Copies of this chain bind each other. A is one copy, B any other.
Amino acid sequence: MTNLAELGEFGLIKHLTKNIEIKNSSTVKGIGDDAAVLNFENKHIVVTTDILAEGVHFDLSYTPLKHLGYKAVIVNLSDIYAMNASPKQITVTIAVSNRFTLEALEELYEGIKSACKIYNVDLVGGDTSSSYTGLIISITAIGEADKEELVYRSGAKPNDLICVSGDLGGAYAGLKVLQREHEVFKSNPNIQPELTGYDYILERQLKPEARADVIKMLKELNIKPTSMIDISDGLSSEILHICEESGCGSRIYDEKIPVADNTKKLAEETLIVPTTFAMNGGEDYELLFTISQNEYEKIKNNPYISIIGHITEQSKGNFLVLSDGSEVEITAQGWNHNK
């Protein structure tokens, strides 16, 4: 194993970023100067940044470094897609303590590069630093869109349909499994973790994907959402962001919220209502968006999209409608990472 101190900062960056291939024509110059140079011609560009901190956003006792690198990229790309834009470049900054070896960081970068390859994104810059404690990863993603393609959080209107891609609550359910088995392991290291049968939710937690496919599909269907956001902090928090920015209210129907069987199974075991996972869990990286009712026919039987409610006047507030017709006010419970 190679000690990081032996390499030095420049050596480390060089080693981790060697053989980086540039794929996008908008990347004029990648790593190797004071700054990367990009050229988007007449496109608008979108920029987002997200940080993942050890002990806060991830626990290395059950998160493989390669998966972590992959996920750190995905959470940023998801924000770019949520603007209805295409991600093109990322910069990666890490602060890392000496307890990590070069080989560990290679694993991390393998995940980062793998996400870049799959999503056709160029790694164009970054910085590394030592840290006195754990690992911190801060990524900035840059994407492009034509001006008229951009979708903000602020465009929802009363009577618009509220839609969500994929299913919700799975990533949080996966985290619960990992935490449960980790507790068992800590009390008796001879017991093998019981992870079989939870494949789907474990993958949702450890290797999430950004919904590039949904953005592409909406374009093919000729649907431009009136507002959009990615679900990183749970459905409650995200619908409130859209409604606050759009000056609207909302009704979401409990029975319409898509929850996978694997998620329901874990919910039953832990005596938690699946809706709680969907509303207050997080890290699903699905897209929450609103569309005009005129688009209903285009989307009604789409297997990748669920219509879960509608936008109202702001004065009507934000409520979850249960199957008996009763309503529960939606509050931003947010999502306390990993806790």
Residues in chain A within 8 A of chain B (CB atoms): 8-10, 28-29, 32-42, 44-57, 79-80, 82-83, 85, 89, 91, 93, 95, 124-134, 136, 138, 140-143, 147, 150, 152-154, 228-230, 245, 332, 334
Contact = CB atoms under 8 A, between A and B. Distances in A.
A338 to B, nearest CB: 11
A37 B33 contact: no
Contact of A127 (B50, B55, B245): B50
Contact of A37 (B8, B46, B56): B46
A56 B28 CA distance: 32
A133 to B, nearest CB: 4
Given A42-B42, A79-B34, A153-B34, A53 B129 contact: yes
Contacts of A332: 10
A24 to B, nearest CB: 13
Given A53-B95, A53-B129, A132-B133, A142 B47 contact: yes
Contacts of A152: 29, 33
A40 B44 CA distance: 7
Nearest to A132: B55
B50 A46 contact: no
A132 B134 contact: yes
Given A36-B47, A138-B138, A131 B41 contact: no
Contact of A245 (B32, B47, B133): B32
B41 A42 contact: yes
A39 B45 contact: yes
Given A33-B152, A35-B85, A132-B56, A140 B47 contact: yes
Given A34-B83, A47-B89, A57-B129, A39 B147 contact: yes
Contact of A136 (B40, B95, B125, B150): B95
Given A47-B125, A53-B129, A53-B132, 12 more contacts: A34-B229, A35-B48, A35-B79, A35-B80, A35-B85, A36-B48, A37-B45, A38-B47, A47-B91, A49-B93, A56-B129, A133-B133
